[in-house]
Structure 1
């Protein structure tokens, strides 16, 4: 019973008592002075009792603890859970962004094929080599628009988080002639509790916090470790370890063709150390893999190991430098959206791990609270054996990026990025890409 209800009930009782006493007062002229004094004393005793009861109720109300204040910006929600099947106290949240990308692209070694991901963002493996300059192409899309949903619960002092995220980068269900429809693509789907995580998310070998502030989907793609996949991860303080879904990309013997092998029976294993401070963060991660490919006549496997160092260094309130340097064997599918293969295939079917390395450095500067920009350089190289791969495979790529991003209103970005990219083959031929990438993005 709340305070207002109790007060109203006490007031009603007092009114009833007074109403009961009224007839007696009306007949006071027939009563003796002694009777009147006794009646008044009785009424005073009743009123005093009601007053004591009200004061006791006030004291009990004041002794109760005040409700905890809501966090800044939070809005009160219903007392019961939104989903009847959810644990009591589960908090739901959602967000994402709408993003329009527009790109003018010129390549001097041929045209990037229509429908290729290289028409949607900077993907160095798709830069044409050996063809003619066909002029500029304009592409516009909203496929990288994104939506996420989260459910957070605390049970017995233990936090549980469920998270799912998707974008529209799925296969086309229509065409650019009419509908421009695309399928929803799963990005993340995981649950975490205490020190554990299970599901699909960024590889533990990747440092998401070091990614530059770019207009392009990634920016310095060739130098970036970029993989999302299913895993089980354990984190304890600055250390984290994971076992992740394995997959092997094999460069077919004397061919540019690649064999995607799912014959692995050992997961990819990672270990990471992360140090955070006021000046930024530094992290080093290791990767150990089994490279494996089976046919009807052979069962070939090879071990591979790689290392990645990355971080962010704050130079002041308006400047920071972000960087990443990775190298080792079997790094192919983890670097630059599978820029290189994991292994090379010999004539007898045996595998040899392909060595490679790549990295980037990016400087970000905030000119005003509404205007910022970044300058980036990125490169990658692979040590192909021409006797195994031939001369038409990618040997090296590099790119330079410069952008400006203006935010006229909170959470709205209008940006432009200039990209100069180059891809070189093992035979020495190269192709160049020049692109102006513009975007409008609203985070919600």
Structure 2
């Protein structure tokens, strides 16, 4: 790197560190830049009932049945990322602290884990990021880590993706959940088309996989999804997702599994969320998500309502109440969560 470029880098770091907003971009040359971002988040959470999330920190698609009355603090959703741009090439890395490995006796330490690590060159992307099946803009705004995960497409994995306008096609990492993954020799194939405009966006996606059972059989699996975020009145919007077929691990975060014994699981999932702005700095989200499965006969429901306020553009707080119900186990729990987030 030339001396002048080094000077630009140092000057950019010094200038960014003196600002309240710690997220910044450093221009190294006309074609080269570094961007640093992420957020710091504290969650205070109380759960009362007879089912607890298998993560203990936020609701997913399944829980452990048993009486619970638990209050906890955590900061593990905190994350940081770095983007490297050189002309047509972009590299992106993001990590959070949901990796576990800590304890609540002395240190409350937690291991960092990788969320995203990909390279993008023109219309091609290679690496780990959100599956092409996912529409992240259709996720609810929630204090409880993306809201009703029991009913939405939510998965990150390694892939090779090509984008042509609104069309995306990809081959992605195969995994026969609750099957014999050592025989997964055919990548998952996904195609998605995005319709977008000033009104918002809607995506239509299809999924084809080969699943391998413990008994040595190979089964085909096909699924589909429709998801979107549409503006309504003023700054309000509605977000929705509907998924059907044999989506398995792609939808619901273990609400449905790929295989139940030697059978491919078929599921139906839907989610709807409405966001309303009371004034510029206050907004409320109401959401509801449900997944049902045919083979295991699972039924998982999660609803919630919250309020968020921005002290500044970067600093906000939120409070949420809701309920997670595992009807197939005749169990449910109420929860309340208070969150403070500082966006870098």
State the Cα distance separating 1:419 from its structure 2 match: 1.2
Measure, in 1, the Cα distance between the counterparts of 2:26 and 2:181. 49
Q: Does 1:125 align with 2:62?
A: yes
If each structure's strand is expressed as a fraction of its own residues, which one has the higher value? Answer: 2
Q: Does 1:435 align with 2:338?
A: no
Structure 1: stretches of 5+ with no match in the other structure: 1-72, 82-87, 251-258, 346-350, 385-392
Secondary structure of 1:209's partner? Answer: helix
Measure, in 2, the Cα distance between the counterparts of 1:189 and 1:108. 38
Q: Does 1:139 align with 2:72?
A: yes
Retained in 2: the 8 A contact 1:149–1:163? yes
Instruction: Name the counterpart of 1:286.
Output: 206
Secondary structure of 1:176's partner? Answer: coil
Instruction: Name the counterpart of 1:306.
Output: 223
Retained in 2: the 8 A contact 1:340–1:394? no
TM-score normalised over the length of structure 1? 0.69
Instruction: Name the counterpart of 1:56.
Output: none
Measure, in 2, the Cα distance between the counterparts of 1:169 and 1:75. 25
Distance 1:327 1:90, change over 3 A: same
Measure, in 1, the Cα distance between the counterparts of 2:315 and 2:195. 32
If each structure's helix is expressed as a fraction of its own residues, which one has the higher value? Answer: 1
Retained in 1: the 8 A contact 2:213–2:259? no
Retained in 2: the 8 A contact 1:246–1:267? yes
Instruction: Name the counterpart of 2:244.
Output: 327
- 1:397 corresponds, among 300, 304, 310, to 300
Instruction: Name the counterpart of 1:339.
Output: 255
How many matched pairs?
A: 323
Retained in 1: the 8 A contact 2:275–2:283? yes
State the Cα distance separating 1:160 from its structure 2 match: 1.1
Instruction: Name the counterpart of 2:267.
Output: 356
Secondary structure of 2:106's partner? Answer: coil
Q: Which has the larger radius of gyration?
A: 1
State the Cα distance separating 1:260 from its structure 2 match: 6.2
Instruction: Name the counterpart of 1:261.
Output: 181
Measure, in 1, the Cα distance between the counterparts of 2:97 and 2:180. 24
- 1:224 corresponds, among 152, 172, 180, to 152
Secondary structure of 1:248's partner? Answer: coil
TM-score normalised over the length of structure 2? 0.89
Instruction: Name the counterpart of 1:62.
Output: none
Note the alpha carbon deviations across 1:281-305, whole angstroms, 9 max, x for none: 11100000000135xxx52110000
Residues 409-428 of structure 1 aligned to structure 2 (within 5 Å) = 409-425=312-328
Structure 2: stretches of 5+ with no match in the other structure: 1-20
Measure, in 2, the Cα distance between the counterparts of 1:284 and 1:321. 17
Note the alpha carbon deviations across 1:355-390, whole angstroms, 9 max, x for none: 101010000001111111100111000001xxxxxx
- Using CA pairs under 8 Å that are at least 6 residues apart, name the structure with larger relative contact order, 1 or 2: 2
Measure, in 2, the Cα distance between the counterparts of 1:371 and 1:340. 35
Measure, in 2, the Cα distance between the counterparts of 1:229 and 1:279. 30
Note the alpha carbon deviations across 1:36-87, whole angstroms, 9 max, x for none: xxxxxxxxxxxxxxxxxxxxxxxxxxxxxxxxxxxxx999967x66xxxxxx
* RMSD between aligned residues: 2.1
Measure, in 2, the Cα distance between the counterparts of 1:378 and 1:356. 13
